[in-house]
Amino acid sequence: MIEMLPEWLLGWLGEDGIATLNYLSNGKHVAWYASVKYTFIAAFAGAALAVLFGLLGAAAKQSSFFILRAIGNTYTTMVRGVPDVLFLLFFPLAFEQSAEYAFAYWRCTPEEIATATSWPLCQAAQWYLGTTEYLIMACVSLGLVYGAFAANVIYGALQAVPKGQLEAAQAFGFKPWQVFWHVQVRQMWVYALPGLSNVWLLLLKATSLLSLLQIIDIVAWADRLGAPNFLPMAGLVHPDWRWKYYLALFVFYILLTLISERFFKALQARVSRGMVRAE
Amino acid sequence: MDAILNNAFVQDLIILAKPALYNIYFALASIPLGFPLAVLLALAKNKPNSWLRKPAEIFIYAFRGSPLFIQFFMFYSLFLAFNQSTWKPLGIDWLVMSPLFIGPLVLVLNTSAYSAEIFYGALRAIPKGEVEAAQAVGMSKWQSFRTVTWPNMLRLAWPAYTNEVVFLFHATALIYFTMPVIDRQKDLMNKAGELFEKDYALFVHFSAAALYFLVISIAIFVLFGWINRYLNRHLSTSKPLSFKANYLR
Amino acid sequence: MKNTWLIALTLGAVFAASPTMAADTLRIGTEGAYAPFNYMDDNGELGGFEIELGNALCAQMERECEFVVNEWDSIIPNLLAGNYDAIMAGMSITEERKETIAFSDEYKPVDPSLYLAMADSDLDFANLEDANIGVQGATIQAGFIEEKYGENNTVKAYETSDQALADLAGGNVDIVLADGEVSRTTADASNGMMELVGPEELVGGGIAIGLRQTDTELLTAFNEALDALKADGTVDDLLKKYFKLEPVFATDEASSEAETDSTE
């Protein structure tokens, strides 16, 4: 594939350059580049779920029922006390254990349950978890944790919508949920955008933790690629190059942050068309 | 009494007490350096002189824009790359390569970037009237900094800085995922993971670790809340950071 | 809109992938970072002694096999959780592991672990003090070093063996204790940069396949296939190819059968 490059470029690169390019495009490296899909899936799906959980949490926080308010408040304050790493590790395992527990009572015979000594309680309760399952659970965990942040932001934004509009809608006979959805939520996005862009950046950086959930993502590949290799049969013999790979990831994430910030700035400009902003 | 002590959760709490000290150490070791560095960076970012401003901006952008996890890996492998050539000849490799050093170092760089951004926002929000009054009265630059800029910046930034310190403490949970475990040094996450591997009692072990994080986070909130009240003592309508339950609608 | 599309895509992928639960494919878990036992080559494909042996065993058993990469720390828990059906990752038979999983017959006889150090490092193993010793976490070598040298020395536990070797090359640790084969092949391939030092330490049993204790049928199937491969010399050929070892199994069929009976 390198041969397809124009002559003058090949000449400028020289032999070393071509060897480096060849190395950087071998199967193992291509697998590294391909694994960035996990980062993007986790970021986008996690963000979508975070907005969803944020809306639910904010709605709960401003509800007229004490129980819902309590749930909303507990949800949003919980993440201020517990690290996101803990949630990220805890949630998939908890989900898996609960699912296998449920499977056990559904699929195992009573004798098997009574005589079981180890986990899971019987063979039929096994749940094979592959990368896809872990990825989905990672997305949900990220959505739950950053949903709490988003709930705080959205709650503030909901409060910022002029109350007069809500009262007018009520006077027109809209039901409470209609007032909430069609009037309040519809208008709060412009107030929520700065806070939500912050939450997006936090979420994006949290996707670097996917390797803790046994997903072979860009961080795990950087470790495998950079680790020194001593055996020729296992590939190119090279010393410890990990710092180069991690530096590449460092720059990669900064670029992602740059692009995200540009995007949100443009979005903010578009959404506040016609609004008087104290700028 | 025995029944309480024999409870698995309580036993976990006792086992996790010593690892919690490691997390607290990492947080405590990072604040004394992180805070002054953040103030310096914020002041530099506020200067019109771009020789001072640009490096501060780049530093803040780089360390806020990349994950802490990657920063840990990167610094560890960078230091390792210089081990043979620099640290060992100088005889300081036992210090430089230890997680107890690299951990706080990276945390300092990271927290100073985030805090600098917070302090910078506070600097911009200082009431212009006070600054001009100080100038009019004839205070020198240093005096006006001490009387007007510094107290106002601290007061305005304090709630956000409290959040940042709590995040710093949460971030200490990541350290031993990225560096080798030396001897018996284990922090909360490590120890909880180890206990989990033995008997798969997920909820007990992780809840115990979560409880430690929660309690210490609340302690930070309370302590910093007192400082917040002290900083706002001259304002008659000082808003205390309190959690009031709305029992009546 | 983009987000809902992505969610739908991911969910679709899940539902498409879940039929793997009932498939006949045998899934074998391996680490992929433990050359020459198992490693990932520059094309991103798994290779190594155990990959070839695993494929040969599956051909013998006439079943489809799939290798799954898993980090060393969670390789046993994930076996028990059912992410794969067998472990072939340079795992030695130990009494402690026998409590949670079952082992097949060994496919590589027990081999002393060896210490690796940088060339010209002079360490007195009789009175080792204040040395930095590297090991891979949760291995038999880790437990052994803790007991023997843990008191007066610093023991650093790494996630993978590659990281331990990297730190050795970088000077962060003075010695690394690893399986004999890994130490030997690394020392050979390092062009004199590293050498074997110190005494041989016999830790753990031979290398075998790890299985869940409830999978008795699979255990018998593996053992039968393994016996067949030992008898026809395949295992010996692979041992010679990767480790340059003299034939072990096919030389004396009677004694190897007696051996497999006693290690049961």
pLDDT in tens, C33-43: 887 888 888 88
Write out pLDDT tens, residues B13-58: 888 899 999 999 999 999 999 999 999 999 999 999 999 999 999 9
Residue C90 predicted with pLDDT over 90? no
Write out pLDDT tens, residues C129-185: 778 888 888 788 888 888 888 788 888 888 888 888 888 888 888 888 888 888 888
**B249 and A246: CB-CB below 8 Å?**
no
C37, C38, C43: best to mutate for the A interface, most A CBs within 10 A: C43
pLDDT level of residue C16 (50, 70, 90 thresholds): very low
Chain C residues within an 8 Å CB radius of A31? 44
CB-based contact, A65 to chain B, within 8 Å: no
Could you tell me which chain C residue has the CA closest to the CA of A243? Answer: C166
**In chain A, what are the domain boundaries?**
35-271
- Domain assignment present for residue C92? The answer is yes
In three-state secondary structure terms, A231 is coil
Find, among B135, B174, B163, the residue nearest to B241 by Cα. B163
Measure A85 CA to nearest chain B CA, in Å: 7
Average pLDDT over residues A157-186: 90
Superfamily in which the A35-271 domain is placed by CATH: MetI-like (1.10.3720.10)
| C-alpha–C-alpha distance, residues A195 and A197, integer Å | 5
The alpha carbon dihedral of B118, B119, B122, B124 has a sign of: negative
Which of A 153-212 lie inside 8 A of C, CB atoms? none
Chain B residues within an 8 Å CB radius of A86? 173, 189, 206, 209-210, 213
**In chain B, what are the domain boundaries?**
21-181
Looking at residue A76, its pLDDT comes to 86
Residue A161 predicted with pLDDT over 50? yes
Q: Which of B84-98, B230-244, C1-15 has the lowest mean pLDDT?
A: C1-15
**Helical (H) or strand (E) element with C220:** helix C216-231
Contact between residue B16 and residue B188 where contact means Cβ atoms under 8 Å apart: yes
Percentage with pLDDT > 70 across chain B: 92
Residue C217 has a CB neighbour count (10 Å cut-off) of 8
**A90 and B166: CB-CB below 8 Å?**
no
In three-state secondary structure terms, C174 is coil
- Domain assignment present for residue C13? The answer is no
Could you tell me which chain C residue has the CA closest to the CA of B181? Answer: C157
| C-alpha–C-alpha distance, residues A135 and B198, integer Å | 25
pLDDT level of residue A277 (50, 70, 90 thresholds): low
Measure B75 CA to nearest chain A CA, in Å: 8
In three-state secondary structure terms, B9 is helix
CATH number at residue C209: 3.40.190.10
- Domain assignment present for residue C97? The answer is yes
Question: Are residues C51 and C83 located together in one domain of the fold?
Answer: yes
Among C201, C216, C249, the domain boundary falls at: C201
Residue-number span of the structural domain to which C121 is assigned: 113-201
CB-based contact, A224 to chain B, within 8 Å: no
The alpha carbon dihedral of A98, A100, A106, A108 has a sign of: negative
* Paired residues of C47 in beta bridges: C39
Looking at residue C17, its pLDDT comes to 42
Give the number of domains in chain C.
2
| C-alpha–C-alpha distance, residues A12 and B26, integer Å | 49
Highest mean pLDDT among A8-17, A105-114, A152-161, B100-109 belongs to B100-109
Looking at residue C7, its pLDDT comes to 53
**What's this model's pTM, rounded to 2 decimal places?**
0.84
CATH architecture entry for B21-181: Orthogonal Bundle (1.10)
